[in-house]
């Protein structure tokens, strides 16, 4: 009996100690996620994010803590067709402000390095906003100023739609023949300079290559890609090409990896197309009700969970993107930008925000040191955040 017990302990203990090891590292590190779409989902679906939304969303206020997230940049998003996008953006920010007011012991708006440090020390979620699409300033620098004053600490220059002053990756590649201008206009360059003055980080996820290089040339601060992956591994317009990756390295910026299956795995779209053809009749009916593909996909993905599960890539493929960037420009230039609650498919094991420790586990499996893992989990973003902040803050 004693021999059997000893044998079981010898078998079980190594895995238990290993689990303790990666969990301890994860929860002792400052974990930063630069992109989460929970606010947009809350407004669209009338959800209260300080309640338990398990099974409905990837995240909620309590699940951030369970996943070890210390700093969350909440995406403020609407598409380019929305009327009054500036007002819509403020409505989303109002949602988080109300949550903070109700839960001062759990979450704090932390728009400066000192406030962020204070929130982390008090074991609160340090929250900031990231505006995902320059169309939401409605071509007014005053609106950009107002966003900063409300706690916006980065702005993605474009979403998929171009603005009057910056061209998007989607339009530069898919709609090139209809594009009026490529890159930044003079006003676009004013936006970059004003963001530098304010301490608002420039985000180049979604932007076209010409806009990317124009922004790099104008900025005097490190930039981020808040939720992007590697074009060489998955050639979608939204991913970064090698020269762009190198340019971000030279700029001192950080690429935060997107968890969306379609940006990680080059064969995902083919598998997804097979799924859609299998359910074509339902898909066509849904598109008649609402022509927005996200609506139809979300419905079908919830209806056929087992089929959808088979579409997802392994977590190791996400880490392949990280390895690629590290080998090219170093470990100081990569982080996490999950896109949770803005995506309908993530790699296996990353079912929601509570699974983030498994990301750390995979980094350990790849041989990354504890020091480097801490950089990836949040240290790299904190460096860029501090470099962009006004000196007196």
Digit-coded pLDDT (tens) for 250-288? 999 999 999 999 999 999 999 999 999 999 999 999 888
pLDDT digit string (tens) for 122-136?
999 999 999 999 999
Helix, strand, or coil here: 286? helix
DSSP string, 24-43: HHHHHS--EEEEE-HHHHHH
Residue 393: band (very low, low, confident or very high) from pLDDT cuts 50, 70, 90: low
Which residue pairs from 96-101 have beta carbons closer than 8 angstroms and sit at least 24 positions apart in sequence? 96/39, 96/49, 96/127, 96/129, 99/49, 99/50, 99/61, 100/127
Whether 144 and 137 have beta carbons less than 8 Å apart is answered as yes
pLDDT at 2 over 70: no
Q: Are strands 125-132 and 201-203 parallel, antiparallel or unpaired?
A: unpaired
**Rounded CA separation 381/35 (Å):** 12
Q: What CA–CA distance (Å, rounded) separates 104 from 122?
A: 11
**Percent of the chain whose predicted confidence (pLDDT) is above 90:** 88
- Distance CA(284)–CA(277), nearest Å, equals 10
Q: Which residues of 180-190 are buried (b: 16+ CB within 10 A; e: fewer)?
A: eebbbbeebbe
- Residue 14: the pLDDT is 54
Tell me the pLDDT tens digit for each residue of 27-64: 999 999 999 999 999 999 999 999 999 999 999 999 99
Would you tell me how many other CB atoms lie within 10 Å of the CB of residue 123?
A: 10
**pLDDT of amino acid 11:** 47
More confident call, 72 vs 288: 72
Residue 18: pLDDT band (50, 70, 90) is low
pLDDT in tens, 313-322: 999 999 999 9
Q: Which whole-number Å values give the CA distances from 340 to 119, 320, 375, in the listed order?
A: 22, 19, 21
List the structure tokens of 140. 């007014």
CB 125 within 8 A of CB 72: yes
Distance CA 167, CA 185 (A): 9
Please report the domains of the chain, with CATH numbers, ordered by start residue. 28-265+314-388 (3.20.20.140), 268-312 (no CATH)
pLDDT-wise least confident of 16-20, 182-186, 339-343 = 16-20
Closest CA to 233 of 356, 359, 360, 323: 323
Whole-number mean pLDDT of the chain?
94
Pair 70, 125: CB distance under 8 Å: yes
| CA gap 109, 100 in Å, rounded | 7
Mean pLDDT of 22-27: 97
Higher pLDDT, 292 or 253: 253
pLDDT at 13 over 50: no
**Res 15 pLDDT > 60:** no
How many Cα atoms are found within 13 Å in the side-chain-facing hemisphere of 333? Answer: 23
Q: What are the pLDDT digits (tens) for 323-357? A: 999 999 999 999 999 999 999 999 999 999 999 99
State phi, psi for 84 to the nearest 5 degrees. 50, 60
Backbone torsions φ then ψ of 116, nearest 5 degrees: -60, -45
3-state secondary structure of 193: helix
More confident residue, 177 or 168: 168
Whole-number Å distance between alpha carbons of 260 and 37: 13
Gap between the Cα atoms of 69 and 61, Å rounded: 10
Please state, in angstroms and rounded to a whole number, the distance separating the CA atoms of residues 272 and 321: 21
Q: What is the per-residue pLDDT for 302?
A: 87
**Residue 313 phi, psi dihedral angles, 5° rounding:** -80, 165
- Per-residue pLDDT, averaged over 197-216, amounts to 98
């Amino acid at each position: 009996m004693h021999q059997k017990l000893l044998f079981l302990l010898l078998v079980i203990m190594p895995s238990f100690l290993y689990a303790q090891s990666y969990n301890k590292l994860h929860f002792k590190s400052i974990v930063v996620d630069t992109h989460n779409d929970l606010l947009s989902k809350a407004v669209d679906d009338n959800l209260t994010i300080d309640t338990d939304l398990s099974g409905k969303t990837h995240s909620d206020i309590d699940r951030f803590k369970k996943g070890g997230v210390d700093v969350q940049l909440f995406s403020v998003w609407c598409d380019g067709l929305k009327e009054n996008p500036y007002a819509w953006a403020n409505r989303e920010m109002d949602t988080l402000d109300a949550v903070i007011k109700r839960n001062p012991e759990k979450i704090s708006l932390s728009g400066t390095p000192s406030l962020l440090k204070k929130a982390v020390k008090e074991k609160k979620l340090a929250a900031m906003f990231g505006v995902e699409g320059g169309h939401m300033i409605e071509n007014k620098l005053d609106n950009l100023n107002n966003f900063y004053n409300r706690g916006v600490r980065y702005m993605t220059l474009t979403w998929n739609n171009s603005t009057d002053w910056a061209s998007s990756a989607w339009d530069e590649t898919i709609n090139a023949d209809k594009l009026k201008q490529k890159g930044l206009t003079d006003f676009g360059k004013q936006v970059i300079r004003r963001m530098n003055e304010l301490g608002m980080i420039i985000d180049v996820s979604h932007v076209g290559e010409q806009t990317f290089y124009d922004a790099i040339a104008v900025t005097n601060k490190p930039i981020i890609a808040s939720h992007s992956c590697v074009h060489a591994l998955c050639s979608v317009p939204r991913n970064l090409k090698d020269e762009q990756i190198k340019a971000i390295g030279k700029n001192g910026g950080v690429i935060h990896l997107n968890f969306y299956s379609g940006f990680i795995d080059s064969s995902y779209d083919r598998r997804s197309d097979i799924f859609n053809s299998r359910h074509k009749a339902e898909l066509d009916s849904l598109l008649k009700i609402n022509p927005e593909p996200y609506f139809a996909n979300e419905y079908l993905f919830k209806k056929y969970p087992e089929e959808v599960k088979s579409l997802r890539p392994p977590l190791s493929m996400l880490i392949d993107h990280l390895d690629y960037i590290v080998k090219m420009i170093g470990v100081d230039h990569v982080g996490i930008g999950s896109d949770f609650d803005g995506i309908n498919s993530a790699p296996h094991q990353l079912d929601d925000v509570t699974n983030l420790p498994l990301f750390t586990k995979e980094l350990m499996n790849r041989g990354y040191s504890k020091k480097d893992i801490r950089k990836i989990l949040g240290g790299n973003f904190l460096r860029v955040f501090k470099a962009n902040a006004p000196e007196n803050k």
